[in-house]
Amino acid sequence: MLNAKVFDDISAKFSELAESGPAKDIEKNVRALLTQGFGKLDLVTREEFDIQSQVLLRAREQLTALEARVAELEAQRDTAAK
């Protein structure tokens, strides 16, 4: 019968083989290519996108408030002109 230590040893050997084999090199090269390609695309990070979304939301809220204020002032002017 095989005990758990034998399975652990076999698992460790396979892990070492996978880390030092060509698959690891291929993964590293693909990551480098993708990183380089994405760098040329002028993409933004999720964090930058979320920050700009918040800035835009605040700007919209301020614009809505200013539009309401202008409408209020125009109504007062029209009332005073009569």
Residue 7 confidence class, pLDDT cut points 50, 70, 90? low
Q: Give the pLDDT score at 47.
A: 95
Residue 15 confidence class, pLDDT cut points 50, 70, 90? confident
Which of 75, 76, 72, 53 has the alpha carbon at shortest distance from 64? Answer: 72
Which of 56, 32, 11, 41 has the alpha carbon at shortest distance from 2? Answer: 11
- Rounded to two decimals, the pTM is 0.51
The two structure tokens encoding residue 81: 């002109």
Q: Give the pLDDT score at 33.
A: 85
pLDDT digit string, tens, across residues 31-72 = 888 888 877 878 788 999 999 999 999 999 999 999 999 999
Q: What is the identity of the amino acid at 16?
A: E
Q: Give the pLDDT score at 11.
A: 75
Q: Domain residue spans in the chain?
A: 1-42, 44-82
Identify the DSSP state of 42: T
